[in-house]
Amino acid sequence: MKLSNTSEYALRILCFMTKDENRLYSAKYLIDELKISDKYLRRLMTDLTKAGFITSIQGRDGGYKFLKSSGEIYLADVINAVEGMDKYTGCALGFCECSDTNPCVMHSTWVPVREEFLKAFTTKTIRDLDIMTVTKY
Amino acid sequence: MKLSNTSEYALRILCFMTKDENRLYSAKYLIDELKISDKYLRRLMTDLTKAGFITSIQGRDGGYKFLKSSGEIYLADVINAVEGMDKYTGCALGFCECSDTNPCVMHSTWVPVREEFLKAFTTKTIRDLDIMTVTKY
DNA sequence: ATAAAATATTACTTCAAAGTAGCATTTAAT
DNA sequence: ATTAAATGCTACTTTGAAGTAATATTTTAT
């Protein structure tokens, strides 16, 4: 029940960028502020760009800035962009054919947990995160 | 939001053993029925034995059987015995100092999900799982 | 006593996620 | 044109969970 580093980083980056939503952020600056390694962050930025959340400006004085409003970027969308939600929405025991009509032993136990997870990640956007009350990203 | 294979196997094994709660189960039989590899299953059985859920009978005609009643073995206890619950109850973003008074950006989003998870795993026992309605373990 | 059939332990191998390195490409200022 | 400062891409290395192999130990039936 911890997100993968990949999803964690993606959410932290986008969230951090809402501090000044119209600013252009260089990779260098994000790396320093968020303590994420250079190449890993750049790879994620490319994924987030391809997903259409941000746009990248190449060349000198380049960087990244929001293309969509942070209020339109759902948490589940971010996870889908960098690794896919499958891992988080599947059967607790990994049975690929698990369903309400063909449940595994954990099914009824797991359903409410998964529902709560899905509710949070499909209704909350990057803008809804606790940006103002927080010092750690 | 999938359990690790280690926890998955542990839960499946104990759950399967409730089909006939007083029976003695050999490792060989469990391996065949649950399609878990020999050495991995044996290692888990040792962990489950040390945790006091089951007892192992060595020597010829040996095997494993419940020491505690399945109704007294909480799901969280099982996870604790084989890998620890920390991974499942921590901050979504992996901040070790994350708390209500010093939250990360995901904190308020994550709390209800974690609560639902904890409720399920600390109140349900092995006996509460959907054993009767199920063909897959 | 011995053999058979079970569990216990330790060390090794494999695999996928995470992280790193190096080079290519792009663009603005000079 | 050239240089500097940024992003983009491909391949490699590391790390920890998962899985495997080999061997030791225990106990019952004969």
Residues A109/B131, Cβ–Cβ less than 8 Å: no
DSSP structural state of residue A54: E
Q: Which domains does chain A have, with CATH numbers?
A: 5-126 (1.10.10.10)
The pLDDT of residue A127:
95
| Torsion B86-B91-B93-B99 (CA) sign | negative
Give pLDDT tens digits for B66-103. Answer: 999 999 999 999 999 999 998 888 888 877 778 888 88
Query: With b meaning 16 or more CB within 10 Å and e meaning fewer, what string describes B32-45?
Result: eebebeeeebeebb
In order, the DSSP letters of A73-120 are -BHHHHHHHHT-SHHHHS-TT--TT--SSS--TTHHHHHHHHHHHHHH
The proportion of chain A whose per-residue pLDDT surpasses 90, expressed as a percent, equals: 76
Q: Give the other-Cβ count within 10 Å of A57's Cβ.
A: 12
Contact between the CB of A60 and strand C at under 7 Å:
yes
pLDDT band at A92 (very low <50, low <70, confident <90, very high): confident
Nucleotide C26: closest residue by CA–C1':
A59
The least confident of A133-137, B16-20, B106-110 is A133-137
Cβ-defined contacts of A3-8 (< 8 Å, 24+): A3/A79, A3/A88, A3/B92, A3/B93, A3/B94, A4/A83, A4/A87, A5/B94, A6/A44, A6/A82, A6/A83, A7/A78, A7/A79, A7/A82, A7/A83, A8/B92, A8/B93, A8/B94
The alpha carbon of residue A57 is apart from the nearest alpha carbon of chain B, in Å, by 27
B108 CB within 8 Å of a chain A CB: yes
Mean pLDDT of B38-50: 94
CA–CA gap between residue A64 and residue A59 (Å, rounded): 11
The mean predicted confidence, pLDDT, of chain B is 91
* Residue type at A121 in one-letter notation: F
A93 CB within 8 Å of a chain B CB: yes
- What do you get for the CA distance between the two ends of chain B, in Å? 19
Contact between the CB of A4 and strand D at under 7 Å:
no
Mean pLDDT of A18-26: 95
CA–CA gap between residue B104 and residue A129 (Å, rounded): 9
Inter-helix orientation angle B107-123/A107-123, to 10°: 170
Cα angle: B125, vertex B128, B131; to 5 degrees: 125
Residues B74/B122, Cβ–Cβ less than 8 Å: yes
The pLDDT of residue A11:
96
Chain A 38-57 residues in 7 Å CB range of strand D: 39, 42-43, 45-46, 49, 56-57
The pLDDT of residue A132:
78
Instruction: Kindly give, in sequence order, each residue whose CB lies less than 8 Å from that of residue A18, ignoring residues fewer than 6 positions away.
Output: A70, A126, A127, A129, A131
The mean predicted confidence, pLDDT, of chain A is 92
